[in-house]
Amino acid sequence: MGTCKLRKNMIWMSNEDIDNKLTNQLIEKLNEVNLANSQGMDEKLIWYFSTEGGDIASAREIIDIINTNKDVIELVASDVIASSGFFIFFKSTCKRRILPYTIGVHHSAVSTINIRVGNLPKNEYDVLTKSKNSQINADLYNLGMNLGLDHIQCKTFKKGKDVIIEYPELQILLTRSIELNANILDT
């Protein structure tokens, strides 16, 4: 007689900025799931994901971590997926769902750098990356285009303003991103 694998889901809810701390929390959760699976469990991480955004470098790392572990994670958009959260949700290739009434916000990126001159305290500067030569903003714009944002939304994005996307349209964008799947990754 064969052994029966127990099905267990780890549930995680987060409503935090996208940063190194969140990236490390995701790594810890996935390490727990992968350890359980290596011991014969059939475990999956269901991540209820809400964020107003954050660090774009951490977002790229989270996307890579999710896509590397896409068979053991499900991403559930809840409440708000804004800025780098929108980027993460639509660039991930794991199973994804959107809870009703969730709002999306898509816009261009701003990068922050820290500079220390001599013995002076470190200063933090926001570097606007809204120029036409900014690769990340070109990628974010192309993401919106590939998902099927309309002409007015794309124009709003190019002006550096927020594109607000309500639940019904988010569902359409999700369907489109699933159809594109891996083809959307390099946009």
Stated as kind and residue range, the H or E segment containing 13 is strand 7-15
Check which CATH number belongs to the domain holding 162 and give it: 3.90.226.10
Q: Is residue 146, in this structure, part of any structural domain at all?
A: yes
Share of the chain above pLDDT 90, in %: 71
Beta-carbon contacts of residue 33 (< 8 Å; ≥ 6 apart): 10, 43, 44, 45, 69, 72, 73
Q: Is residue 1, in this structure, part of any structural domain at all?
A: no
Q: 11-51, pLDDT tens digit by residue?
A: 999 999 999 999 999 999 999 999 999 999 999 999 999 99
Predicted pLDDT at 135: 83
Residue numbers of the domain that contains 69: 7-181
- pLDDT tier at 148, thresholds 50, 70, 90: very high
Q: Is residue 186, in this structure, part of any structural domain at all?
A: no
Number of domains in the chain: 1
Distance, CA of 131 to CA of 114 (rounded, Å): 20
pTM recorded for the entire structure = 0.84
Predicted pLDDT at 50: 98
Q: Is residue 2, in this structure, part of any structural domain at all?
A: no
Predicted pLDDT at 79: 97
Give the residue, 122 or 144, on which the prediction is more confident: 144
For 4, how many CA atoms within 13 A lie in the half-sphere containing its CB?
3
- pLDDT tier at 131, thresholds 50, 70, 90: very low
**What CA–CA distances, in Å, run from 49 to 39, 44, 133?**
27, 15, 31
Predicted pLDDT at 137: 87
Phi, psi angle pair for 30, to nearest 5°:
-70, -35
Q: Is residue 187, in this structure, part of any structural domain at all?
A: no
In SS3 terms, 160-182 reads as CCCEEECHHHHHHHHHHHHHHHH
| Mean pLDDT for all residues in the chain | 87
Q: Is residue 136, in this structure, part of any structural domain at all?
A: yes
Q: Is residue 172, in this structure, part of any structural domain at all?
A: yes
Give the residue, 143 or 182, on which the prediction is more confident: 143
Predicted pLDDT at 180: 84
- pLDDT tier at 8, thresholds 50, 70, 90: confident
Q: 47-97, pLDDT tens digit by residue?
A: 999 999 999 999 999 999 999 999 999 999 999 999 999 999 999 999 999
Give the residue, 128 or 169, on which the prediction is more confident: 169
Whether 122 has a pLDDT exceeding 90, the answer reads no
